[in-house]
Amino acid sequence: MMHQPVGKLLLFGATGDLAQRMLLPSLYALHADGLLPSGLTITGTARSEKDDETYREFARHALEEFLPADRKDDSAVGSFLDRLNYQALDASQVEGFVALKDKLGDISGGLAIFLSTAPWLFGPTIEGLKSAGLTGDNVRISLEKPLGKDLASSREINDLVAGVFPEERTFRIDHYLGKETVQNILALRFGNSLFEPVWNAQGIDHVQITVSENVGLEGRAGFYDETGALRDMVQNHMLQLVALIAMEPPARFDGTAIRDEKVKVLRSLRKISAQEAPQLTVTGQYGGGAVKGEIVRDYASDLGKSSGTETFVAIKAHVDNWRWHGVPFYLRTGKRLAERRSEIVIQFKPVPHSIFAERGGALQPNTLAIRLQPEEYVRLLVMAKQPGLDREGVRLREVPLNLSLENEFAGTRRRIAYERLLLDLIEGDPTLFVRRDEVEAQWEWIDGIRAGWDANDMKPKPYASGSWGPSASIALTERDGVTWNE
């Protein structure tokens, strides 16, 4: 593995939304904390005509707008901007890449390329980099989704990249893997002897994963309408969470071992057949309603035309292997739902025999909730006896054992996911990036679901904005005697 820091970073899409909100603030934070290699230069490229000076001004405005107040420091901002250069480029024209190479200068110290670009530009960009000699052994590339819209188009993009960059120099980003709480799943499972013995079909009744948003389209209308909730959220982020929750213990903490175990889970996902799609999946599209007390419009009005794209999806999934035999994984995600929340809920099995029942004590099975946003915590609900003399019978109550990352690590700086991922890219550590075989296993499962929707002509059911999605989503779990955690 090439675990050495590079001397240069090249950002495609350097004037885009992602660059302003995430990439520039993240790189600045790493710079301010002295974590970037000392001579590292950052070259931005995009179509807009700017020079070094105007790009630095542009970056200064982005930092002004998106950095938290306690991070702003004039001298650090100044020395960070000194690292920035800019080269205008129309990536669809191969000729422009020679000027880009000249701008970068000597790349013998290694180059990392961050590519967040429209999917149709992948081919020309890779071609251009190759023709200009920007793809040598000391160059690594990171790719931002969407990497295709199904298995076939994803293979096409991966083949294009693989023709020039071998897998060990290709870093596919899933920004959920940069989140501290997501990495904590590994610490929780494999750093404690408490959980692993019951982390299986004998101990766990079911798993729920919810990623809900209260926003609607927010300026991504065209992209989102072609994509839909299943491809936008489930195919990448949610299946990565399933893989981390369900994987076998890796032999060591490194990119190969961890990703070997993740891909086994993704390949073990039970295919959802066309016959089962109507029973095991629910799709929805938001209607009008109220979110946080504000009246909002339906999806078609937000989009400006009627559409069959789903803004909500719920799925009952299974991982077919020894560990998870018969344990359902309920997944749901959607826009304009009741609240913004990402969480994993592990519901354990009840105790085999309750000694409290005849004394009136009702038991709830233990629940482990791992909350990724907006707060970050791990909470285990356990049964305890309410204080008292028990003349009226035994009263039991669920009480939380709480690990709040905000409180527990209050003195430690909370970093956004891209800080971790950009630093790992610069240093060449692939552990938190997604390997090609994972992406293809994810797409294969997702394509099966979409084929089922087509075969049954399933149309998204309307749901009120500000609700928890279509009523069919409640029925999906209720018929198994399970209630969504709300």
Report CA dihedral (400, 404, 409, 412) to the nearest 10 degrees. Answer: 180
Positions at the binding site for substrate: 175, 179, 213, 232, 335
Over range 10-33, report the average pLDDT: 96
Over range 14-19, report the average pLDDT: 95
In a domain, 424, yes or no: no
- Give pTM, 2 decimals: 0.95
Domain count, the chain: 2
Average pLDDT, the chain: 94
In a domain, 484, yes or no: no
* 177-212: b (≥16 Cβ within 10 Å) or e: bbbbbbbbbbebbeeeeebeeebeeeebbbbbbbbb
Predicted local distance difference test score (pLDDT) of residue 393: 87
- 307 plus 450 within the same structural domain: yes
**% of the chain at pLDDT higher than 70:** 100
Inter-CA distances, 467 with 73, 402, 436, Å: 42, 28, 37
* 24-45: b (≥16 Cβ within 10 Å) or e: bbbbbbbbbeeebbeebbbbbb
Among residues 31, 237, 325, 353, the one annotated as catalytic is: 237
Positions at the binding site for NADP(+): 47, 145
CATH code (residue 118):
3.40.50.720
Of 242, 241, 249, which is closest to residue 189 (Cα–Cα)?
Answer: 249
Give residue-wise pLDDT tens across range 342-358.
999 999 999 999 999 88
- 181 plus 70 within the same structural domain: no
In a domain, 167, yes or no: no
CA atoms of 440 and 329, how far apart (whole Å): 20
Predicted local distance difference test score (pLDDT) of residue 452: 98
Ranking 48-57, 168-177, 287-296 by mean pLDDT, the lowest is: 287-296
- 203 plus 349 within the same structural domain: yes
- Would you say residue 334 has pLDDT above 90? yes
- The type of residue at 131 is S
Question: Which of 129, 144, 159 is at the close of a domain?
Answer: 144
Higher pLDDT, 283 or 398: 283
CA atoms of 361 and 336, how far apart (whole Å): 39
- 120 plus 217 within the same structural domain: no
Confidence grade of residue 1 (pLDDT, cut at 50, 70, 90): very low
- 292 plus 409 within the same structural domain: yes
- 389 plus 471 within the same structural domain: yes
In a domain, 187, yes or no: yes
CA atoms of 483 and 467, how far apart (whole Å): 15
Give residue-wise pLDDT tens across range 124-149.
999 999 999 999 999 999 999 888 99
In a domain, 372, yes or no: yes
Ranking 15-29, 107-121, 303-317, 433-447 by mean pLDDT, the lowest is: 107-121
- 128 plus 182 within the same structural domain: no
Residue 237 annotated as catalytic: yes
- 189 plus 79 within the same structural domain: no
3 state DSSP class of 332: strand
- 118 plus 70 within the same structural domain: yes
Over range 433-462, report the average pLDDT: 97
Give the list of residues 6+ apart from residue 160 with CB closer than 8 angstroms, or none. 122, 123, 126
Predicted local distance difference test score (pLDDT) of residue 278: 97
Of 297, 387, 302, 372, which is closest to residue 342 (Cα–Cα)?
Answer: 372
Of 353, 380, 386, which is closest to residue 366 (Cα–Cα)?
Answer: 380
Backbone angles phi, psi at 201, to 5 degrees: -65, -20
In a domain, 458, yes or no: yes
CATH code (residue 366):
3.30.360.10
- The type of residue at 85 is N
Question: Which of 119, 144, 169 is at the close of a domain?
Answer: 144
Over range 154-181, report the average pLDDT: 95
- Would you say residue 250 has pLDDT above 70? yes
- 380 plus 313 within the same structural domain: yes
**% of the chain at pLDDT higher than 90:** 85
Question: Which of 144, 164, 191 is at the close of a domain?
Answer: 144
3 state DSSP class of 430: coil
Confidence grade of residue 108 (pLDDT, cut at 50, 70, 90): very high
In a domain, 422, yes or no: no
Predicted local distance difference test score (pLDDT) of residue 464: 96
Place of tokens 């020679």: 98
Strands (E) located in 251-319: 281-291, 294-296, 312-318
- 107 plus 182 within the same structural domain: no
Q: Which domain holds residue 271?
A: 177-414+434-479
Give residue-wise pLDDT tens across range 182-241.
999 999 999 999 999 999 999 999 999 999 999 998 877 888 999 999 999 999 999 999
- Would you say residue 63 has pLDDT above 90? yes
Structure tokens at 355: 């000694």
- 182 plus 140 within the same structural domain: no
In a domain, 1, yes or no: no
The pairing of strands 341-348 and 204-212 is antiparallel
Over range 430-448, report the average pLDDT: 97
Predicted local distance difference test score (pLDDT) of residue 146: 82
Backbone angles phi, psi at 430, to 5 degrees: -85, 0
Positions at the binding site: 47, 145, 175, 179, 213, 232, 335
Over range 289-315, report the average pLDDT: 93
Of 25, 47, 213, which is closest to residue 118 (Cα–Cα)?
Answer: 47
